[in-house]
Structure 1
């Protein structure tokens, strides 16, 4: 398993992951992504966005990112998002990716707070985030439109652990 920065040539594999109902259905992405769209996103990403991928045997099977706040008084905060191809869920890929993103946040970006939103019914993601120290801070009712109806999301955050 290799974890590295995302590159424009990863667009094909990321598109395949994000085309899976389990992935776009549990994120704010739309169905039917295109490789061109992902190539453009990866080629023109802003400086406040740090994207990582997990590569297994030459194939990118997961992607995730930290979007740093640009508000002057929230420069210590980032929003986290990630997706793992369904074929590789439950195999430690998400744990490895999340650990790498949090290591980047804690030890290199000097972030104090990492936030995320997760749909209330996404139990595997909730378990993963809780395992890594995220806590529920609230519920966003009718947060997003998905599969023909509005769904709630939990607002979660993790504060960087204080050095011992």
Structure 2
């Protein structure tokens, strides 16, 4: 079993629509039923456009796209440029096979080692035990609870606000002047 993580492209739209269209997946996300390949092609084209700071990732298992993840700025406000929002999804047939961990490792590495983000933020439904375990594994902690956060299958459900702070924020190495 080989998991490959790469930057997503608009050509991944069909795979994204397949993954996000599965009731076992979209029920844990802020997606709606009846997703569409063209909608995903447009979203991916926008997030991949030159000058965008989004990081859309695709996970392939033995050559097939089975997961997606992304980091994007939380806000255009200059005082929030240190924070990123994370989203992730894994196809039903690939859950529990390390795909989520591979995507999380890639996103945390990118945020920590290449762009110096201080915070990665996310929201997760309070009953999504698998996702909570994955996020905790990568250092995310619950910072609050949103009551009645989203409508899911005809009922309002709660969600947690979670975040991970950079474990070793970048700093300038101290220098000693030769005397």
Q: Do Structure 1 and Structure 2 share a fold, with TM-score over 0.5?
A: yes
TM-score, normalising length from structure 1? Answer: 0.96
- Which protein is bigger by CA-based radius of gyration? 2
From 27, 30, 40, the equivalent of 1:28 is 30
Question: Would you say 1:67 and 2:72 are equivalent positions?
Answer: yes
**1:137 match: secondary structure:** strand
> Helix, strand or coil for the counterpart of 1:127?
helix
What runs of 5+ residues in structure 1 fail to find an aligned partner?
A: none
Residue 26 (structure 1) shift: 0.7
Q: 1:76 aligns with which of 72, 77, 82?
A: 82
Q: Normalized against structure 2, the TM-score is what?
A: 0.88
Match of 1:54 among 43, 48, 59: 59
Aligned length: 164
Ranges in structure 2 where 5+ consecutive residues have no aligned partner: 170-179
C-alpha separation in 2, matches of 1:157 and 1:115: 4
RMSD: 1.3
In 2, the alpha carbon distance for the partners of 1:49 and 1:140 equals: 25
Partner secondary structure for residue 161 of structure 1: coil
Q: Is residue 151 from structure 1 mapped to residue 157 from structure 2 by the alignment?
A: yes
Is 116-125 or 23-32 further displaced after alignment? Answer: 23-32
The whole-number CA distance in structure 2 between the counterparts of 1:39 and 1:154 is: 29
